[in-house]
A and B are shown apart, each in its own frame.
Chain A
Amino acid sequence: MSTAVQRRETSAPTGEPAPPPWYATDLAARLSSYVFGLLLWIVLAMAFERVPGPDEVVVRLVQEFQLGQVFGHFGTTMFRFGLGLLVAAVGGIAIGVLMGLSPISRAFFESPVLVGLSIPAIIWAFLTVMWFGFGWKAPVTTVALSALPFVAVNVAKGVLGVSRDLRDMSRAYGVSRARRIRELVLPAVTGYIIAGVRFAVIIGWNAVLLSEWFGATDGVGFRSRYWYDANRFGGFAAWVVLFVVFIVILDRVILERASRRAFRWRDES
């Protein structure tokens, strides 16, 4: 049984100040940064022979699509990246919650997490290839191990900040531990989780490319290296452009949206 309420339409107040001119908006600033980057690229390409220009990169990109190379490698990499990230997120949230809730687990996990934070992805990439050889296990493990500590640290910080008043309230009412974690702790740390996952995405993406570069026979990292080894910088740059675009879209569109949805309760006030 739910009650109908009319509160979702947000009516624009009439006395609103005039919108800023088009050249002073966020969108204009963002677009001009893209344009500036493109110009810089063109200039660099003209100045240095070994820097492929946008035109060459676009041609290469189209060729790669025509060769049917893009989706296969991208799909492979996405699977590894996604799986590794999932492990990092789930494991990082679990460890972070534990660290935030109990001083004993904080003492236990503090040093391993610190060590994890300080080991760069490239070390994991080498180690995992030594352990697992070529294949999907090395990149997935590299992503998971590189990204997990960042999620854990962020989540632990968030859990430590959960309001004492609300914890007391939950205790007085005898709310079960599982429910407290689900409805009090996790929503309170959503912001920290999203920040942690954002970090993890960047770091994990780095990790998967490195790992594929050194230890795989397919995937985006492998294909980039293929062009690099062939001394064809156009092809190499085409892949760089592809995954930069991918990361920007992932962060801007998906994570940004997730964060807005998670904070609906704050925005609707």
Chain B
Amino acid sequence: MARLTVDDLCKTFPGSGGRPPNRVLDNVSFDMQGQVFVSLVGPSGCGKSTLLNIVSGVETYTSGQLDLTNDEGRPARLGYVFQDPRLLPWRTVVQNMLYVQDDNSSQTRDRALRYLDMVGLANNTDYFPTQLSGGMQQRVGIARAFSVEPDLLLMDEPFSHLDAITARGLRENLQEIWIESRKTVLFVTHDVMEAVQLSDRIIMLQPGGRIFDDITIDLPRPRHQSDPKVATMQAEVLGRLESMTGVNDDVSQAAPTGGAP
């Protein structure tokens, strides 16, 4: 488990080719810690992936503070599920899992195989990524992220490229694995239904990269889409997202797309 503190974080991409600089994150502050599943929701282009990349250390930030430590106060071990699978095409499934591990011990290998089993890929360990369907590749990405026993797990719209049925299956799958493992998770999505089903807390980002709202979801797990309490909550969160879309009108940023239905 990890503790993540973000304070007044700003990110501006320098303008290139005559375009003005692009402010993507604007004074973002939040704090999360322990066995918690936090979702980051917002329309396309509002800086969600950028925020995850900054947290993971792949991207730099312009100003503000970011502090990420594990329970012992040391730098946190990360797992990261990207928007696309990002597997090494020349390595088999199991080799891809081992690529991100700290050591080559047999326990590590067993753990990798266990997570592959959990996402239903126990029989595909020796396949190359090109021999798998898109959904199967994404599942390898999920198994890989869990298998490093991360202190903090980052997930960036892991189901957005998949068809609805596959996505639903994987969502259930993720919920089960999370209930078992209770990692600290920061999960990006623009799907409110998904956010409510999975999270303890939803942070809404608005275009221009400001935090608009921070909602606690206090419902027992496992949660199902058919459960009326879940449906009520979804309607409420959707309502707040729509009130934000009203705010959009006087934000002169690029128009959001693919946001709230």
Contacts and interface: CB of A to CB of B under 8 A. Distances in A.
B131 A268 contact: yes
A240 interface: no
Contacts of A174: 77-78
A177 interface: no
A172 B56 contact: yes
B128 interface: yes
B13 interface: no
Instruction: Name the residue among A3, A166, A171, A175 with the largest chain B CB count within 10 angstroms.
Output: A3
A131 interface: no
A166 B88 contact: yes
A187 B123 contact: no
Contacts of A173: 78-80, 100, 148
Contacts, number: 71
A2 B125 contact: yes
Interface string B74-90: 00011110101010111
B162 interface: no
A179 interface: yes
B122 interface: yes
B27 interface: no
A24 to B, nearest CB: 31
Interface in A184-200: 184, 187-188, 190
A1 B97 CA distance: 14
A3 B58 CA distance: 35
B113 A171 contact: no
A83 B79 CA distance: 45
A221 B200 CA distance: 78
Contacts of A7: 127, 131
A269 interface: yes
Contacts of A269: 128, 130-131
A3 B126 contact: yes
A121 B120 CA distance: 58
Q: Is the interface of A mostly helix, strand, loop or mixed?
A: helix
Contacts of A188: 90
B27 to A, nearest CB: 25
A168 B122 CA distance: 27
Contact of A169 (B80, B123, B131): B80
Contact of A265 (B80, B89, B99, B123): B89
Contacts of B53: 168
B57 A171 contact: yes
A5 interface: yes
Nearest to B52: A172
Interface in A217-269: 265-266, 268-269
A26 interface: no
Nearest to B92: A265
A16 interface: no
Interface string B24-59: 000000000000000000000000000001001110
A61 B90 CA distance: 46
B113 A183 contact: no
A3 to B, nearest CB: 5
Nearest to B83: A165
Contacts of B154: 172
Given A169-B80, A172-B56, A265 B86 contact: no
Given A2-B126, A166-B88, A179-B99, A171 B58 contact: yes
Interface of B: 53, 56-58, 77-80, 82, 84, 86, 88-91, 95, 99-100, 109-110, 113, 122-128, 130-131, 148, 154
10 contacts: A7-B131, A165-B84, A169-B82, A172-B56, A173-B79, A175-B99, A187-B88, A188-B90, A265-B130, A268-B128
Interface pairs A-B: 3 shortest CB-CB: A269-B130, A173-B100, A172-B56
Given A171-B56, A173-B79, A174-B77, 11 more contacts: A1-B109, A5-B127, A7-B131, A168-B53, A173-B78, A173-B148, A174-B78, A175-B99, A183-B99, A266-B89, A269-B131
